[in-house]
Amino acid sequence: MARPLLYYLPLVPSICMVCMIIGVGVWVHYTAEVLHQVEYALEVLGPTVTADNLGRGVEAIKGTSSSYLLLACALFGLGLYRRLLSAQHDTSGPNPKQLLIYRAVNAGVHFLWWLVMVWVVLLWAGLAVLAILTWVGKRAVRQVLANQAAMAPLYSRWAGDVAGWALPPDALAAAGGDVIVAITRRSGWPAVLTCPSTCANLQLFQFLAVDSSQACVCDQGVLSTVLAATQAAQEAVPGMFVGIWFMYVFGDLLKTSLACDFTGASRDAEGGSGSLPGPAGGGGAGAGGLGLRKVPSTGRGYTKL
């Protein structure tokens, strides 16, 4: 009985391929946006503020997207080739040599794709860490700005002499509005050990590398710009995770489809090698179709050897 044409169409590989391409595009766009905003925030904080692991994110985008799409195209090509072999099997019989080659290539590509899926899971964990650190930075800067706003009325009343202390305006400005620090330490400000709650102490963030003389950031304009950048980065985080979710789910589905094709090819190969042609050149029926030889009988109820 002839199979319908729909049976030979690569529906599952095609759907997976389209969704995987969409997932890669979404993931690359939003991950690049997160990294760009974080890099911009670090540039605003100062030239000595760096994050060593941030550059690895750019490398991960390039390496993952290119290797992922190349192997995905190889898997899609194998899906098409398997449909061709299936159609050939139903029309003119199995081709053991082509089935053997297909299964060998399928096994190799399947292993490589499994490694890619493992890497996607590890990358997912790394992106989660990036999202958490971005959220922590945003919350810290927001709290510093809230502290500055809460203490602003009090600081404004300390602009002159306080209890006999001469408080120059430049000392108060250098202290970021923290009057106590401005009075007790009039030189060498800012110092990370005396960084007040109205300033951001960058040395508290272990993932940042910063010079100790520039680790205490009190400028309200700088902090406001950093808050806007980290907020924009956090808004791009959901899109980043949606993209990699598409990459993993439909990539795993395509891997399952590849395994099913391998099983089907093995079944076709075993069916083709286990039968001999019958009298009409086909599979035959009865003993001839099974490749068995009839043993003559003497007619006396026993077999002649």
- The 10s digit of each residue's pLDDT in 215-271 is 888 888 889 999 999 999 999 999 999 999 999 999 999 888 888 877 877 777 776
pLDDT, residue 230, reads 94
- Say how many domains are in the chain: 1
Strand partners, 216: 201
In the chain, the amino acid numbered 262 is F
In a domain? residue 170: no
Provide the residue-wise pLDDT of the chain in tens; the chain has 305 residues.
456 666 667 788 889 999 999 999 999 999 999 999 999 999 998 888 888 888 888 888 999 999 999 999 998 888 888 777 777 776 776 667 878 888 888 889 889 999 999 999 999 999 999 999 999 999 999 998 888 787 766 655 555 444 444 445 555 555 555 555 554 554 444 444 567 778 888 888 888 888 877 888 888 888 999 999 999 999 999 999 999 999 999 999 988 888 887 787 777 777 655 443 433 333 443 333 333 334 444 444 434 33
Domain membership of residue 106 as a residue range = 5-139+221-272
Q: 40: number of CA atoms within 13 Å, CB side? A: 16
In a domain? residue 114: yes
Instruction: Give the Cβ contact number of residue 62 at 10 Å.
Output: 10
pLDDT, residue 170, reads 54
pLDDT, residue 178, reads 56
In contact, 203 and 192? CB cutoff 8 Å: yes
Structure token digits, residue 220: 């309200």
Structure token digits, residue 54: 């941030």
Q: Is the dihedral of CA 225, 222, 200, 150 positive or negative?
A: negative
pLDDT, residue 181, reads 54
In a domain? residue 200: no
What are residue 79's phi and psi, to 5 degrees? -65, -40
The overall longest dimension of the chain from CA atoms, in Å, is 135
Could you give the CA distance from residue 249 to residue 242 in angstroms, rounded to a whole number? Answer: 11
In a domain? residue 81: yes
In a domain? residue 290: no
In a domain? residue 122: yes
Q: What is the pTM of this model?
A: 0.72
Instruction: Give the Cβ contact number of residue 30 at 10 Å.
Output: 22
In a domain? residue 295: no
In a domain? residue 267: yes
18 Cβ partners below 8 Å, 6+ apart? none
Structure token digits, residue 59: 């490398």
Determine if the peptide bond prior to 190 is cis (ω within 30°).
yes
pLDDT, residue 193, reads 55
Mutual orientation of helices 220-273 and 11-45 as an angle, nearest 10°?
Answer: 160
